[in-house]
Amino acid sequence: MHYRHAFHAGNFADVLKHVLLIGLLESLGRKDKPWCFLDTHAGAGQYDLASESADSTGEWREGIGRLQRAPDMPAMVTRYLDLVAWPDQGPAARALKHSRVYPGSPMFAAKLARPGDRIVCCEAAPAIAAQLRAYVPEAQVHVRNGYEAHGLLPPREKRGLVLVDPPFEARDEFDVASSFLVQAVERFTNGVYAFWYPLKNRHDVERFVRRTRRDTACPSLSCTLENGAPGEGQMRSCGLLILNPPFGFAEEARTVLAWLAPRLAQGPRPVWTVEAAGVEK
């Protein structure tokens, strides 16, 4: 699998990832101390959904395109839509019909950052790193393999979130990611970590989660969402493994996934899970 941000921006997997990312960053922001956000595979920072890449898949229409504000919408989802900042109706909405910009993870972090907070990104492709610098000038951008980013830890703030969101180009991606997380936790023990993954081979995912939980010895949440889409050849399920989740985040995640699952469903049986290990149930 080769998961490139530009082709899949705004799809159901991005909705899951970015809603929970916002919740994690806002949890860090509740204390009057600066945080550092480190994105190991950052991408360009924002994406035009009318571009050839995004339009070739049209996946955003079954992701963020499905979401409409509602009285029972969880606060995290409301905040997500606020940060994407698409008008719902009127002339501005019509003007955006053929030009919708979707933020990447570094852009969401920049929108949430306070004075003193810091954004650090790794992006291995020089051309994409240049786009990232232009779109998110607040970010410190390193043109390097994101799995070398443990050398940037611990951050001087001693508080923060590390997002690992790789393209899954290598067959041993789960093994490499688990080794990275173990090394990162050794250097930055109290950091919050979020690892996004496609759930295509359940055995590989379960092995990765077990190994990472064992070798890091961190409290963790495993959050998954399956949209129930029929047919083969497309991603139908993904997850986010969170190490050292904030207190109470498990229940917040359950509320969010229970609300999102039926709205992002592409079949009769969407499935979501939030499994906690070493944290309050």
Q: What is the 3-state secondary structure (H, E, C) of 139-176?
A: CEEECCCHHHHHHHCCCCCCCEEEEECCCCCCCCHHHH
Domain ranges of the chain: 5-192+203-212
Known binding residue 203? Answer is no
Residue 51 labelled as part of a binding site: no
Residue 41 is labelled as binding a ligand: yes
Of 131, 139, 56, 50, which is closest to residue 86 (Cα–Cα)? Answer: 50
Of 77, 153, 73, 82, nearest to 112 by C-alpha is: 82
d(CA 101, CA 69): 19
- pTM (2 d.p.): 0.92
> Is 175 one of the catalytic residues?
no
Query: What is the reported pLDDT for 17?
Result: 98
Of these residues, 82, 88, 165, 204, which one is catalytic? 165
CB burial of residue 248 (10 Å; 0-12, 13-18, 19+)? exposed
| CA distance readout (Å), 13 to 6, 67, 125, 234 | 13, 13, 23, 12
pLDDT band at 90 (very low <50, low <70, confident <90, very high): very low
Confidence check: pLDDT of 126 > 50: yes
Is residue 18 a known part of a binding site? Answer: yes
159-197 pLDDT per residue, tens: 999 999 998 888 899 999 999 999 999 999 999 999 999
Task: Please give the Cα distance from 123 to 143 (Å, whole number).
Answer: 5
Low-confidence winner among 206-215, 230-239, 269-278 (lowest mean pLDDT)? 230-239
Q: Which of 43-57, 75-89, 251-265 has the highest mean pLDDT?
A: 251-265
The average pLDDT across 110-125 equals 97
Q: CA separation (Å) from 150 to 38, 212, 263, 269? A: 10, 16, 37, 39
Is 8 flagged in the annotation as binding?
Answer: no
Q: Is 123 annotated as a binding residue?
A: yes
Structural domain 5-192+203-212, CATH architecture: 3-Layer(aba) Sandwich (3.40)
